[in-house]
Amino acid sequence: MTRRSGPGPRPSAGRPEGSTTDQRLLDSRGDSGWVHTDPWRVLKIQAEFVEGFNDLAEVGPAISVFGSARIPDTHPAYDIGVRVGSALSKAGFAVITGGGPGAMEAANKGAMEAGGESVGLGIELPWEAKLNDYITFGLNFRYFFVRKMMFVKYSQGYVVLPGGLGTLDELFEAMTLAQTLKITQFPIVLMGVEHWQGLIDWMQGSMLEDARIKQSDLDMLTLTDDVDEAVALMVAARDRHS
């Protein structure tokens, strides 16, 4: 597949500096006449869903890799990302990331250099952003919720590298959808014991201890530093479903 741009950022006169399509959709302040534009926005949202579904339908078995955009290429997590992307490609998976720098770039780089399909799903942001240079097929989205749907729909599992708020958002959305049986439960691997152990300890000592979650919820997660273990879990899940 060739790299292409989907419904990505487009300059427009009169927009507030730093505004995004999501912001304008979600901001309820301003002239009440603005409210009546919402129904028409549904058509743009629909178009974004249709294009995403159409363009990603031919992507084969895929794993989404998440992680911080702020990880430099000298960070140990970047090297792990490259190794994860490479190993997933060699195991027959396409690799899907958010298409940005840092951990996302690392996974795309590993996938591309291993000769696999390297997919980037970018998002419109207030600052200038572009897809990284290691993507064989890319789409840009205006709406976060459309983009997140694509990650879930076209992935058979998640590998989560050290990250920040966006990474946590993607992690916990997948867990919530699996817990509530909105999606078929699939493997979620947290790569980086040092980074993630504190979160697991808190979930066990607070959420599980207070019966806010069940042990089965925690059992969705595998915490490891071993790339081979992470990929083996994805392969085993694929084979079971096959």
Tokens at 198, concatenated: 């504190």
Q: Where are the domains of the chain?
A: 21-241
The strand order across the sheet containing 118-123 reads 137-141, 118-123, 94-97, 62-66, 158-160, 188-191, 221-224
One-character DSSP codes across 83-124: HHHHHHHHTT-EEEE-S-STHHHHHHHHHHHTT--EEEEEE-
Express each pLDDT in 114-167 by its tens digit: 999 999 999 988 875 789 999 999 999 999 999 999 999 999 999 999 999 999
- The yes-or-no verdict on residue 234 having pLDDT over 80 is yes
Q: Which helix (H) or strand (E) holds 230?
A: helix 227-241
pLDDT band at 11; cut points 50, 70, 90: very low
Neighbouring CB atoms inside 10 A of 3's CB total 14
**What tens digit of pLDDT does each residue of 215-231 get?**
999 999 999 999 999 99
pLDDT tens for each residue of 31-58: 555 455 667 788 889 999 999 999 999 9
Q: What CATH number labels 21-241?
A: 3.40.50.450
Instruction: At 205, give phi and psi (nearest 5°).
Output: -80, -20
What is d(CA 193, CA 112) in angstroms, rounded to the nearest whole number? 26
Q: What is the mean pLDDT of residues 199-225?
A: 97
The distance from CA 66 to its chain's CA centroid, rounded to whole angstroms, is: 5
Handedness of CA 94, 100, 104, 105 (dihedral sign): positive
